[in-house]
Structure 1
Amino acid sequence: MLGVFVKKENNLNFVYNQLDYNNGQLFDLVTQPSNAIGQDDWLNKGEWLVAAKKAGAEKVFFVDNNPIVVFAKCSNTREEQINCYNRLWSLARPRILFLECDGELYIIDLAQQPISINTDNEELEIIERLTQVKDVAKILQAFHRDNIESGKVFEHHRFGDLKHRADQSLISDLKTVRKELIEAGLCDDKVKYAHALIGRSIFIRYLEDRKILTKGYFEKVARQKSGWISLIDNPSSREELDFSKIHAIYPKVLQDKEFTYALFRSLSKDFNGDMFPDVDVEEQHVGLNHLKIVQDLLYGDVGIQKKLFFFSYKFDIIPLDLISAIYEEFYHSSPNEADKKSKARQDGAFYTPSVLAEFVVSRVLTAEELKKQPKVLDPACGSGIFLVEAFRRMVRYAWKNKKSSLEFNELKLILSSQISGIEINEEAARITAFSLYLAMLHYLDPPSILEQIKNGNKLPNLLVSKNKSSNHFNTILVGNAFGPESEYIRQVDVIVGNPPWGAPGNKADEITKAREKVILDWCKLKSYTIGDKEQSQAFLWRALGLLKEGGRGALLTSAGVLFKHSSTTQQFRNDWMSKVCIAEVFNFNHVRKFFFTSAISPFVMIHFTKENQDKKPVEYWSAKQVISLKETQSVLFSKYDRNYLIEQDLTDNKTWKANWFGRYEDTLFLGQLKRFNPLKNLVNMNCIGRGYQTYSKKHSGKMLNCEKTLNKISDKYNGLTFSNIPEYVYNLGPVEVYSGKKLIVNEGISEKGPNKGVIFSRYENEKFSFYRSIYGLKLTSDDETRYLYILGILWSSFSRYYFFNTTANWGLWNHKILLDELLHLPIPQNHDNKKSERVISIVNKLRNYQPQVYDIFHPNGIPNKEIESQRRQWETELDEAVYDLYGFTVEQRDLINDCCEVTLPFFYQPYDSVGVMPAVKNGDISWIKHYAEIFAKRWQPYLNEGEVLRANVHVGASGNMLALEFYPADIGDTWDLKPRDNSWGYILEEIGKALPKPMGTSQIVLDGIVYAISDDAIIIIKRNEKRFWTRSLAREDATSTLCKRMFETMPAKQELVT
């Protein structure tokens, strides 16, 4: 925690003004919609505004739709400060708290662990304590709105990790309790009872905190037996451990097993059996000792450390999606963590973080779509997180339009007419139903289930059944989305969800294999092609069939749907894309580890409609690892994360790869490379392949006919390290390649050391075998110079650029190049001229340069630093020689160099590579000068005679944003790019004159890029990071501003007069 001590009244108002939060997305908190909050803001932020109000906050600051900063006040006592912090900690998503306490101002990390009031040795630690207001403004500058929106506030390790955030802590606590229950005898086939007991107990606490279960409900059950009333009226023997101040009744009930299961049965009846089934069987296996362990959880007194945070959870505040967190923990019932993850991988089912569910639903359930009262379906709804978010969004929309809260029957109508789901796991389906009940009760006053029953309002049955009563909505089907049981489902308007990814594999259990067979049989029956038995592709087909014509779908799906290049996946794309119109694709590959820690598979979100694509463009967004996303787990995009795919081949996996980190000019360049012949035209296709494999003992290693073997190429220049041949091999590999001249290339990309993303390849002439991780090939010509010529191209930056932007795996799965991709490397045909001789000459220099390295035994040797410097010099010369060989233009060379020098380092080290360094800092203008000169050169033909462009540099938004203001000058005028002082307000005023709608700094920071053009100036504003100010982007920005100017100055169409 950063604490700032200020003796000043209304410190929060001081913060709002001095740190400029007022000019961003700062919202007052409400309990219901108001005219001050627009429709879209209420849809996207309303739930947070109500929850934060209930938690005691005053305002919340959002970055896009993500709550990042909370502002609150409390009295300056230890107890009140801790209570206030613990309540706001339960919000789980915001990261920063500004807390005003009687003139003192604290800034607190909301992801630090909560504190118990009853322990004297824990305090909210204060790092800074200042008394001068003038010093405060300086200290708090790090928390200026500009630094919040840009993410700069999270640099310099100011904040800890997220492991103590409320949602993360809950998962950790539940793991601890499960472990103790298993050790207490609920193991093996009884683990399911441990899961049911924990899950049910958490839900009851949830119901009790939210006043859905009141004391009257417990008393109704307690009247069944003498002594139970006194049990809940008198203090528990362990109540001194209750630090929560909730004084919940349920922990007291756990003292009596018979009372506990009577409560469970009552809840089962009142919740229509959708959440509390099989309590009779469970009761036979659960003992009082197990109930005591659960009681320990509720009192935060369990585990080796006797230190859980359960006392701090405020279930009337904590987000409803915690139900999904519990589902993640207990859906896969293996007691062993590794087995649980394996089962999840087989099923392809992983818990979806709420931030992703909110994002997906927001893309399809816009205010315009909600106006149509759409029917929404999730075909693999799991714990119901997408359906709950859809329901809540529908309620918020109706609430806003009605201008008053919805009645019980109005909420039931939304559930019955607009929500539906399919889920194969009955336990998960019941959690979905229960989650929807909670969401429904959340909007009622009173939420008490007993009061609603007294008023004649009975919760509907949501699980599909044969009962035809009016209170059976048949909302959730327990079954296989591909089975005959799903055929009765009518087509819907919108489909959302995160259906299973991947294929179960040969080691899957019989249940999983049977489920897979149903899917594959359905696809075969429908004549639908899917690649690699990929479930994502099957669900995209199923979604299409379940949608009405013109209906919309938004699904999280495996990236392989777009990136894999097998013939069957290619056929899937050809067929499926011929029937849909893709509106948006959001690529989360670079940031996947922040959302699915257990699932390493890359994923995308595809937003489509059931209609033909025709010539409609696709918005393709690619999330990048930035510090703010890492520290807040928010979904954040800037306009530079977007490419428009216009008349590009959407069925080609290379389209999606090239536009991931590349731009439109990259796709044009890669297309032009097709004029060169592929490498395979120079290769003897009978002497090529990957090395031997050792899966089984099929052949003797002696059949390799070699005395040594190479397991991996670890270096381009130094000697190879060989091993003894294996005793047995599964296959022999390309034996004919092992002897004589050959090129060998690592299948995998080298990602160790300072230069990550390097392709190791070599030309060798001695005899040795090699392992499967190496490709070997012979050329049709035995001329050594041909081998060196190809090797020079493989060693060049061009090959890195080409393979990174075209290969299916590099950057997504196992980072590697497939043999077929290697053979498609474009090769110039001019093998025998001075340009090729230059390439070969430099390759020979690099191969033959083997100096003695300086060390204690070789004082006359050359230091490693000098050796590497010499090699880098020759590598630079090799790049230029290869560029000359291909006849690349200056623009094309810049595309390659920008990728290898900026993009690839950023891909591997997104927080400290050259790409995220300031383009202008401390007066250094060397980086921005190249950009400015190239931009001006591109504009030169369109200027008046005798004019040139020159530029002024403006740095603003706390150093986060950079503006270049180009203006016409006379030929001979020199460049003066020294940053102007205190000129940001002037720039905002100037772009306000040039744009149809004025933009504040907040919107500029969030958008990431602004073009403003007037008769007097061209203003480019982007983030002050080098990756946004490269040579290639200078040309793109110049072209964009030229087009914008031409469009704006185009004469209006004249009507024809006859």
Structure 2
Amino acid sequence: MVQNTDFRRYLTSLSYSEEEIAAGLLDETTFSYTVDTEGRLTVKYIFTPTANDIYLEHRSLWNMNRDNVFIAVTDQQSHIINVKEKPDAARPLKNAICLRTFEYGVNSLGFEEIVPSEISKQYIDSAFFFDFVAKNQRKGQEVDKDLLLNLLQLKSDLISDSNEEMIHLLILRCIFIKYLEDRGIFETDYLINILKSLDAKQLVAAFNEIKKINGDVFKYDSFKVTDIKQEYLKQLALFFETDYRSGQHFLFPYQFDRIPIQLISHVYEAFLKDNSKKRKGIYYTPSFLVDFMLNQLFNGEDNIPLADARCLDAAVGSGAFLVECFKRIQASFGRPLSFDEKKKILETQLFGIDIDQKALQITAFSLYLALLETEDPNFIKNEIIHAHPILPSLIGSTLMSANAITDEVFKGQTFDYIISNPPWGSVPKVEDAQDEQEINNILKERKAIANKGKGDGIYAHVADFERSQAFLVRFQEWAGASTRIAAVVKNSIFLNDNARDFRSYLLDTYALEKFFELSHYNKILFKKKNIGEIKGQAVELGASEPCAVVILKQLPANASEISTTYISPKLSIFAENFSVIHFTARDCFQIAQSNLKNQDAYWKILVNGDLDTFKVIEKLSLQCDLTVEARAGFQPKANMLSLGEPDWKPIAEPTDFKQFDVLKADNLPVFNWNQGLHRRREFDIFQGIRLVIPVRPLKSDKFLFRGAIAYDDIIYKHNMITIKLKDGKDYISDYLPYLAIINSKLIGFLFYQLSIQWGKGEGKRDSIRNVDLEKLPLKRISDPTLAKQLSNLVSKIQIAIRGGQNPIIEIDELDELVFEHYGLLDYERQVIKEFYQMNVDRADAPLNKVTASDLNVYFNAFVKAFQLVLAEGTVLSATYNISGNMGALICMRLSQQNEAEPFRQGEDKHIINFVKSGQLNKAEALKILEEEKVKIYDKEHIYLIKSNQFKDWTPRQAVVDAREEIQQYIKHLA
């Protein structure tokens, strides 16, 4: 065993003070350094003298699924261990597990003056450590996904045609016993010894023991000994003794007393949902999103005492939200609660609804684990021995099996908090139902919701039979004047044109406190991903839709203007690896709720733009002189039947042309037009002068339309769109100048912001729709000189492209002419140019990080805008600093012209570290990393600290920041 003094010496050499060591030295072998004030974002240093010790600590932390890494310290070395990678007893330091090794340990001599950078205190404080982890940590197989795969494999091995329900129940009960065993309520190997006996009577007897403590897990079904075959016991024994899928006979990888209850519940919910016959993906609400939503809901701004709060989840699933509510309510007392006090919370404060009885069993199971989590094992043992029913029965009282859309449930009751992840998507059609019960539910829902205002009274504004809209409406039934609501729903209900009436209704009914548009977070939220295979069949986890989180309250009577906080965070490496919602000042807006209602375009524009973007698009949208007709090509089908003699037509694909191209029939393949097509088109859309664009934009298009002009009769499939333009009743005859406008930065920018799909989620959803194209504000070119200039530029660009040249100068000139045509001011043009800078020129790492040159350009733009309030002879001077990990700073001061200093790097990097450590303080606790703009004033200086991302330091942002300072200056004078 390492001596306490050796470990202290080691930590001291990493710059930890005696006070910090005293606060974090939990025992002789573990030191936890807490970065945040909530005590959740920690770095653990653990003395692990042998490879097996490293494995055991790794296994323990992997099961807990909270830490990303820990530092394993031996006598002569230190290792950064990737906790997210599955532990390997045979190779505990393999490459995927060990991110880095340092040649220093607790007993090394002569290293005291050398500080290993990544694991030293100062680098952890400055976020360097977390940046290193984010860049080097490969996502491994986390405990929940690994456990799910093993359970699905076990189920696959056990299930036959008629025993699925019994197998589900058998596995659930065994997991509950294993949890109690890991808690020390049963002796070690209690379950495995029963299973290896191959005696079904012993297993049934164990189940009967658990029945003594009552509850709903063992209540509804009973086993006959004859139901449990020896083969089931053999496979269950393998599952609970080995790494089941790999067949490696080392330690069972799971520790159910360490796996968070949320994860156990999530896994079992997904396990029950999986049915390979339905070919549907399985998903559950990620734990960090559960925590994030609860943090938004319980924000301390209300007068509702959390200790007395009644909480409802109307689509309860595995009970993840209720489990977290249970923990928060307990914590609000500020003291440990007795068992009876905790039981009373379950019986009187936590309520759930689900149409699936199995889901309620999982919720009850989850809540029981949460109830027992902190209880002394001896107390539970005693209750089992004396046959006391200590677990309350919840199903039928607080947990109700019902359809929350159509059934009367908890009628007349109101709740202080409602939190839910309601079903996404439209009510299925009857032909998609699996059984009679599902048919009845579908018929009830379709009758209640109907479509386009034809449903029941409360659902009159719900569009497209959309369930999540219906849930948001139904929450009114259970909401009082002070009720706060948090829900995660698919984002399309705030984008689709069909749902516009619903959005208006929602804003007339609720105060929308916060709206988190999480399109860019789909990768770590609900994106479908293949997590493994079972008998050659892929297991997909996740949904396909991006989501949004809404925080609502009932709209007060005679309410004055309500402000909504709209946040559209962009996924950063830090956010991806540490599972937080990470946003900067550029991603957060305050907007009047009335504006959201009256100007529906805000919902689309703020996903990727800002309030200035909205103003520019509002100006552009008023300049619509031409009518746009847009038609997609035909849709073929398999096994098309000939309708007579072949009619061969040249056919084009998007790969057959480039931007500004002339699409010609020469050298194109041909297609028999005289066949039975799935979706035929009138042939005139393929004739005459017209513009064509691909339906799916590519990254190589750089957020521009790839428009070409066609004169010949050429057909194409539904992956291309024809655009024809009308001036009044007549089609225009000269398309060349309009080809310039279609391919300009202005139109690409405008359409990307207003599109319902392009840029509103995963790339596979990106598409250009006819209905959106027909709303394009194309302005008539009345000036013959402008028409000629644009046509000449298009011709020059076409010649240059055909010659293999890059016509940058001509394209820039074309864009400026289009800006002029639409009457854009310099600042408005800068909004569009900045969009392309951020999304094309500087989109990818490392170019998305700010540089010293960028800060110099920013400062010059700031000075130009600020010059108005400077006294004659007074100038601004500035220094800068950039952190490679998180944050950048400009320090400005007023000086006389003869004392002005050149823009240079300063000595104030410690201020960045101070500000960023404060922002990290709440990152893990609140599941938000908010890199807001911070200003610090002293007698001589203004310190401006923002992220180190280029998007926060553009010339346009300099103008915004300068105007803000001018307003502050004028306010100070007043």
- What range is the shorter-chain TM-score in? 0.7 to 0.9
Note if contact 2:30-2:44 (Cα within 8 Å) is conserved in structure 1. Answer: yes
Q: 1:118 to 1:769 in 2, by over 3 A?
A: closer
Note if contact 2:875-2:895 (Cα within 8 Å) is conserved in structure 1. Answer: yes
Q: 1:196 to 1:1007 in 2, by over 3 A?
A: same
- Aligned partner of residue 571 in structure 2, secondary structure: coil
Note if contact 2:891-2:944 (Cα within 8 Å) is conserved in structure 1. Answer: yes
Is 1:823 the counterpart of 2:774 in the alignment? yes
CA shift for structure 1 position 508 = 2.5
Note if contact 1:63-1:149 (Cα within 8 Å) is conserved in structure 2. Answer: no
CA shift for structure 1 position 951 = 1.8
- Aligned partner of residue 709 in structure 1, secondary structure: strand
Q: Percent identity?
A: 21
Which stretch of structure 1 is more off in the superposition, 477-486 or 578-587? Answer: 477-486
Which stretch of structure 1 is more off in the superposition, 315-324 or 775-784? Answer: 775-784
CA shift for structure 1 position 586 = 1.3
Distance 1:497 1:490 in 2: 17
Equivalent positions of 1:534-683 (< 5 A) are 534-566=466-498, 569-596=499-526, 597=528, 598-612=542-556, 614-646=560-592, 649-651=595-597, 652-677=599-624, 679-680=626-627, 683=628
Q: 1:1044 to 1:328 in 2, by over 3 A?
A: farther
CA shift for structure 1 position 371 = 4.1
Distance 2:525 2:28 in 1: 26
Cα offsets for 1:717-751 (capped at 9, x unmatched): 55755541453213432422211111222222223
Counterpart code for 1:771: K
Cα offsets for 1:334-368 (capped at 9, x unmatched): 145xx3525x5xxxxx3111111111112112445
| Residue in structure 2 matching 1:845, options 796, 799, 804 | 796
Quote the residue 2:537 is aligned against. none
Quote the residue 2:257 is aligned against. 316
Cα offsets for 1:6-62 (capped at 9, x unmatched): 9874433544639x997xxx99579xxxxxxxxxxxxxxxxxxxxxx7998542545
Equivalent positions of 1:371-520 (< 5 A) are 371=306, 373-398=308-333, 400=334, 403=335, 405-446=336-377, 448-452=379-383, 458-465=389-396, 474-486=397-409, 488=411, 490-506=413-429, 508-511=432-435, 512-520=438-446
Note if contact 1:324-1:351 (Cα within 8 Å) is conserved in structure 2. Answer: no
Distance 2:611 2:920 in 1: 28
Distance 2:190 2:27 in 1: 19
Quote the residue 2:692 is aligned against. 744
- Aligned partner of residue 383 in structure 1, secondary structure: coil
Distance 2:956 2:826 in 1: 10
Which stretch of structure 1 is more off in the superposition, 647-656 or 350-359? Answer: 647-656
Distance 2:140 2:379 in 1: 34
Quote the residue 2:659 is aligned against. 716
Equivalent positions of 1:666-705 (< 5 A) are 666-677=613-624, 679-680=626-627, 683=628, 688-694=630-636
Equivalent positions of 1:32-47 (< 5 A) are none
Note if contact 2:757-2:767 (Cα within 8 Å) is conserved in structure 1. Answer: yes
Q: 1:825 to 1:525 in 2, by over 3 A?
A: closer
Quote the residue 2:708 is aligned against. 762
Counterpart code for 2:544: I
Quote the residue 2:222 is aligned against. 279
Quote the residue 2:154 is aligned against. 177
Note if contact 2:512-2:593 (Cα within 8 Å) is conserved in structure 1. Answer: no
Quote the residue 1:300 is aligned against. 242
Cα offsets for 1:733-789 (capped at 9, x unmatched): 2422211111222222223x4x54342221111012222232213233688774122
Q: Normalising by the residue count of structure 2, what TM-score does the alignment of the two structures yield?
A: 0.86
Note if contact 1:12-1:100 (Cα within 8 Å) is conserved in structure 2. Answer: no
Quote the residue 1:353 is aligned against. 286
CA shift for structure 1 position 798 = 1.1
Note if contact 2:312-2:352 (Cα within 8 Å) is conserved in structure 1. Answer: yes
Counterpart code for 1:691: G
Q: 1:632 to 1:371 in 2, by over 3 A?
A: closer
- Aligned partner of residue 539 in structure 1, secondary structure: helix
Quote the residue 1:115 is aligned against. 88
Distance 2:741 2:389 in 1: 73
Distance 2:679 2:522 in 1: 36
CA shift for structure 1 position 495 = 0.3
Q: 1:138 to 1:388 in 2, by over 3 A?
A: closer
Quote the residue 1:468 is aligned against. none
Note if contact 1:697-1:730 (Cα within 8 Å) is conserved in structure 2. Answer: no
Distance 2:553 2:345 in 1: 23
Quote the residue 1:209 is aligned against. 182
Q: 1:491 to 1:875 in 2, by over 3 A?
A: same
Counterpart code for 1:898: E
Is 1:886 the counterpart of 2:832 in the alignment? no
CA shift for structure 1 position 700 = 6.2
Q: 1:706 to 1:77 in 2, by over 3 A?
A: closer
Note if contact 1:689-1:775 (Cα within 8 Å) is conserved in structure 2. Answer: yes
Quote the residue 1:37 is aligned against. none
CA shift for structure 1 position 1003 = 8.1
CA shift for structure 1 position 406 = 0.9
Equivalent positions of 1:761-840 (< 5 A) are 761-780=707-726, 786-812=734-760, 814-840=765-791
Cα offsets for 1:280-338 (capped at 9, x unmatched): 26x555411121111111111533x31388723222222111222323432224145xx
Quote the residue 2:873 is aligned against. 946
Distance 1:986 1:547 in 2: 46
Distance 1:201 1:696 in 2: 49
Q: 1:723 to 1:300 in 2, by over 3 A?
A: farther
Cα offsets for 1:260-281 (capped at 9, x unmatched): 1232244345333434532326
| Residue in structure 2 matching 1:145, options 116, 124, 130 | 124
Q: 1:987 to 1:497 in 2, by over 3 A?
A: closer
Q: 1:561 to 1:552 in 2, by over 3 A?
A: same
Note if contact 1:97-1:107 (Cα within 8 Å) is conserved in structure 2. Answer: yes
- Aligned partner of residue 331 in structure 1, secondary structure: helix
Q: Which has the higher contact order (CA 8 A, sep 6+)?
A: 2
CA shift for structure 1 position 142 = 11
CA shift for structure 1 position 409 = 1.9
Q: Normalising by the residue count of structure 1, what TM-score does the alignment of the two structures yield?
A: 0.80
CA shift for structure 1 position 1042 = 2.8
Note if contact 1:155-1:627 (Cα within 8 Å) is conserved in structure 2. Answer: yes
CA shift for structure 1 position 658 = 1.4
Counterpart code for 1:744: V
Distance 2:337 2:942 in 1: 51
CA shift for structure 1 position 794 = 1.3
Quote the residue 2:539 is aligned against. none
CA shift for structure 1 position 97 = 0.6
Q: 1:108 to 1:249 in 2, by over 3 A?
A: same
Distance 2:922 2:182 in 1: 39
Gaps in structure 2 of 5+ consecutive residues: 450-454, 529-541, 924-928
Distance 1:123 1:914 in 2: 28
Distance 2:22 2:87 in 1: 25
Note if contact 2:307-2:330 (Cα within 8 Å) is conserved in structure 1. Answer: no
Cα RMSD over matched residues? 3.7
Is 1:937 the counterpart of 2:833 in the alignment? no
Distance 2:298 2:834 in 1: 39
Equivalent positions of 1:65-76 (< 5 A) are 67-74=40-47, 76=49
